[in-house]
Structure 1
């Protein structure tokens, strides 16, 4: 995705980043689920807010995690997130009640140069046209299913 490549280009080369192929925006984190089939069935019924645009902009650090901020149509992103969370909760997969702060984690190492580069980044917008169910195991991410918006 061009937005991720553009972000990678402005980050210090010596920074210890998470693998770019793992960069993602988490809508809802479920933890260990086992069989993903029932989760996928629930997500297939999530109402679509329609396509929208986001951009990576700014960033910060929380404890040791450095992250890129997200701007754009956060209202529609929030609608999508709420729809996913509601469907999962009604299906017996509750998630935490923390406020939703969309971000892209790029490193788990404290790094002042990285933090400054993120703070000054203003990426181009990209179209959000789908959402995806992803499984993670031992640092590897696997796309299980996707749904168009």
Structure 2
């Protein structure tokens, strides 16, 4: 399950990173809400479960700062992280109640930029603050041969000010 920043937010980040750096493909840049791994049951059952998640109102986020997990370099998030964490917890609870175990590591919202400690990437992220964008949906995503495919997407209600 993932939240995707809009193209404009991904392009802004890409422009700030060193050219020539080995990055993950910007089309794949997302914030993971929950990771299931290989499923013993079908994705339709997962989708049915996720359809029961209460949809919070859309909320703002922005890519800002960065850090590392070992050699993985990531962009951080600011904005309404409380709403993001609440959405993640609703997703986790629904999946857990339906018998779909997710990765048990603590939720640390981030967007993976590179799987290598590329020179210049981390310093560029440390001073980066991107444009704000509204989270208007979350998606069930499948990885096939390194490419991500959105299987289902659930919209979040928007208000006139979102």
**Do the two structures share a fold, i.e. TM-score over 0.5?**
yes
Q: Give the alignment's TM-score, normalised by structure 1.
A: 0.97
Q: Determine the structure 2 residue equivalent to 1:9.
A: 15
**Deviation digits for residues 60-84 of structure 1 (CA, Å, limit 9, x no counterpart):** 1111111000111011101100010
| 1:98 Cα deviation after fit | 2.3
d(CA) in 1 for partners of 2:52 and 2:151?
16
CA RMSD of aligned residues (A): 1.0
Q: How many residues align?
A: 149
Q: Which residues of structure 1 form unaligned runs of 5+? A: none
State how far apart, in whole Å, the 2-side matches of 1:110 and 1:76 are: 30
Deviations 1:73-130 (A, max 9, x none): 0111011000100000001002233221100001011123101001110011001011
Partner of 1:89: 96
Shift, 1:132, TM fit = 0.4
Q: Distance in 1 between matches of 2:103 and 2:123?
A: 30
2:151 — aligned with what?
144
CA contact (8 A) 2:49 2:98 kept: yes
Give 1:30's match in structure 2, choosing from 23, 29, 36. 36
The CA distance in 2 between the partners of 1:138 and 1:116, in whole Å, is: 31
**Which ranges of structure 2 fall in alignment gaps of 5 or more residues?**
1-6, 157-162
Q: Any runs of at least 4 consecutive aligned residues in structure 1 with deviations exceeding 6 A, and if so which?
A: none
How far apart in 1 are the matches of 2:79 and 2:107?
15
